[in-house]
């Protein structure tokens, strides 16, 4: 067995765009690393900073939050909420002594399967470079 | 008659003064207590009175009280010995419960601290880090319950004597003791309007108040003065037998809560909750000076404060 570090990454995907995007990546048979655990949420705006910090301090190495493109939100402005929450999350990462690269906010629409796979690949590469979470 | 052993570790001594602060109530409980070990009061040596023994020894006791966190190997050793010899172990004060003020050092690595203290500081003649005849420091400041099992936590900096008495009485009667999961805000009499129309003030600026009238005073956070009340356990204002109006101690002095009672419940995350509380009344958490240290002032142990990861450009 190889000893290479395999990060655990949680992706919060919104039900209306990003989760469908992930689905599209799946049915199109696009390859992306298996380090991603997807959690479907109704809207990226409902992902409380608590959830992200808790994940990162309890064994997860990276968190990615995916929502609809601005203006496309099913709930009109949920993703804008997510954006302001992302700012707060970045502040908290700093307070908790975590690298800001461990968290990422991405807009992925339902038709962007290839982009979903691409973003996940990039995220896994970044985290592999950073190494495991200090917690 | 219950035997009591008290030990002070990494501490200023204020917790022992708080025990004395029981005042006349102390006389009521003293007949049922026998202090068998208490370095602050008694000349009881660890290795026998003349140093004839080779093992650290603390007499057996029903109740053990430890004030102060753990900063060096000796303190760790003493805490372990206390656990072995005491049936019930109480962590007294914020340092023992959460690391306290000394745990602010957890923001830096031990090497950084040595560099700063013995070499980098402009006013100090640089010297080697002393290592002879003193116990080595632990890698960070620990709360007592990170090293040994603790049965009862009594937080506070210093503790409220009413709570010490309550806990001691409970133990003597064999009843469990637990502080309620309430926040300081739940007990705070100040007026809240859920909205702040002023920005954050500087930490030393005074609040606006009319002396003696707590009910008309505006909430500190809404006045722009950072108050840790929303994320801090209540109990500091408690009076004997529930007499009198409960006003949190700092608020009583027209000062904002500093957070010495620690998180409201185990596993709570005061840092996040405080930011949520600030933004919910319209203040910008980004503007809080020295945010990390300020929000973790008394609770830096238990892995809450840790050195920032090394990163280029930071």
CB–CB contacts below 8 A, A to B:
35
Who has greater pLDDT, B245 or B306? B306
Cα dist from B162 to B19, B21, B151, B234, B239, whole Å: 10, 9, 19, 13, 6
pLDDT at B314 over 50: no
Confidence of residue B135 (pLDDT cuts 50, 70, 90): very high
| pLDDT tens figures, B268-298 | 888 888 888 888 888 888 888 888 888 899 9
Token representation of residue A73: 């939100």
pLDDT at A44: 93
Radius of gyration, alpha carbons of chain B: 21
B123 min Cα distance to partner chain A (Å): 30
Is ipTM strictly over 0.85?
no
**Per-residue model confidence as pLDDT tens digits over A30-45:** 999 999 999 999 999 9
User: Structure pTM?
Assistant: 0.83
B313, pLDDT greater than 50:
no
CATH number, domain B2-173: 3.40.50.700
- Do A28 and A20 contact (CB within 8 A), yes or no? no
Q: Which residue has the tokens 């806990």?
A: B167
Residues from chain B that touch A96, judged by Cβ atoms under 8 A, are 271
Per cent of chain B over pLDDT 70 is 97
Note which residues in 9-48 of chain A have CB less than 8 A from chain B: none
Residue B2 contacts residue B33 (beta carbons within 8 Å): yes
| B312 band by pLDDT with thresholds 50, 70 and 90 | very low
d(CA B307, CA B314): 13
Structure tokens at A116: 């979903």
Q: Residues of chain B whose C-beta is under 8 A from some C-beta in A? A: 269, 271-272, 275-276, 279, 285-286, 291-292, 295, 303, 306-309, 311
Choose from A47, A87, A97 for mutation: most chain B CBs within 10 A: A97
Instruction: For A90, name the nearest residue in chain B, comparing CA atoms only.
Output: B286
Residue among B286, B291, B306 minimizing CB distance to A134: B306
- Closest to B223 measured CA to CA, from B249, B248, B251: B251
Which of A98-107, B162-171, B301-310 is least confident? B301-310
User: For B54-75, what is each residue's pLDDT tens digit?
Assistant: 888 899 999 999 999 999 999 9
Do residues B100 and B155 make contact, with C-beta atoms less than 8 angstroms apart? no
pLDDT tens track for B98-121 = 999 999 999 999 999 999 999 988
User: In 3-state terms, what secondary structure has residue A19?
Assistant: helix
Exposure letters B70-83 (e unless 16+ CB within 10 A, then b): bbbebbbebbebbb
DSSP annotation string for B168-188: HHHHHTT--------BHHHH-
Q: Where in chain B is the domain with CATH 3.40.50.700?
A: 2-173
């Amino acid at each position: 067995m190889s000893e290479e570090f395999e990060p655990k990454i949680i992706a919060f995907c919104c039900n209306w765009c990003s989760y469908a995007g992930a689905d599209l990546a799946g049915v199109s048979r696009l390859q992306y690393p298996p380090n991603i655990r997807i959690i479907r949420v109704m809207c990226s705006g409902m992902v409380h900073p608590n959830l992200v910090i808790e994940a990162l301090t309890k064994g997860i190495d990276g968190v990615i939050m995916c929502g609809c493109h601005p203006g496309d939100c099913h709930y009109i402005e949920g993703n804008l909420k997510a954006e302001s929450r992302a700012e707060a999350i970045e502040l908290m990462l700093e307070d908790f002594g975590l690298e800001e690269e461990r968290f990422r906010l991405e807009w992925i629409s339902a038709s962007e399967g290839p982009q979903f796979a691409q973003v996940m690949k990039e995220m896994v590469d970044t985290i592999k470079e950073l190494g495991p979470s200090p917690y | 008659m219950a035997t009591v052993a008290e030990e002070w570790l990494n501490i200023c001594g204020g917790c022992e003064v708080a025990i004395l602060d029981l005042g006349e109530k102390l006389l009521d409980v003293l007949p049922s207590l026998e202090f068998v070990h208490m370095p602050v009061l008694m000349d009881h040596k660890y290795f026998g009175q003349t140093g004839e023994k080779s093992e650290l020894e603390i007499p057996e006791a029903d109740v053990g009280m430890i004030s102060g966190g753990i900063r060096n190997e000796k303190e760790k050793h003493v805490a372990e010995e206390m656990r072995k010899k005491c049936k019930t172990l109480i962590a007294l004060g914020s340092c023992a419960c959460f690391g306290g003020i000394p745990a602010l050092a957890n923001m830096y690595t031990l090497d950084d601290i040595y560099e700063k203290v013995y070499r980098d500081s402009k006013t100090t003649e640089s010297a080697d880090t002393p290592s002879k005849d003193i116990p080595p420091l632990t890698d960070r400041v620990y709360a007592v319950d990170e090293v040994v099992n603790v049965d009862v936590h009594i937080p506070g900096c210093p503790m409220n004597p009413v709570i010490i008495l309550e806990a001691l009485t409970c133990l003597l009667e064999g009843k469990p003791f637990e502080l309620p999961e309430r926040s300081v805000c739940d007990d705070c009499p100040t007026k809240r309007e859920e909205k702040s129309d002023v920005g954050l003030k500087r930490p030393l600026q005074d609040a606006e108040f009319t002396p003696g009238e707590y009910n008309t005073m505006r909430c500190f956070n809404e006045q722009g003065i950072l108050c840790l009340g929303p994320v801090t356990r209540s109990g500091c204002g408690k009076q004997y037998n529930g007499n009198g109006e409960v006003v949190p101690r700092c608020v009583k002095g027209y000062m904002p809560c500093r957070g010495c009672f620690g998180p409201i419940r185990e596993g709570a995350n005061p840092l996040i909750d405080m930011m949520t509380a600030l933004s919910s009344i319209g203040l910008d958490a980004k503007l809080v000076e020295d945010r990390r240290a300020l929000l973790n002032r008394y609770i830096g142990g238990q892995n809450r404060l840790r050195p920032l990861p090394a990163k280029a450009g930071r």
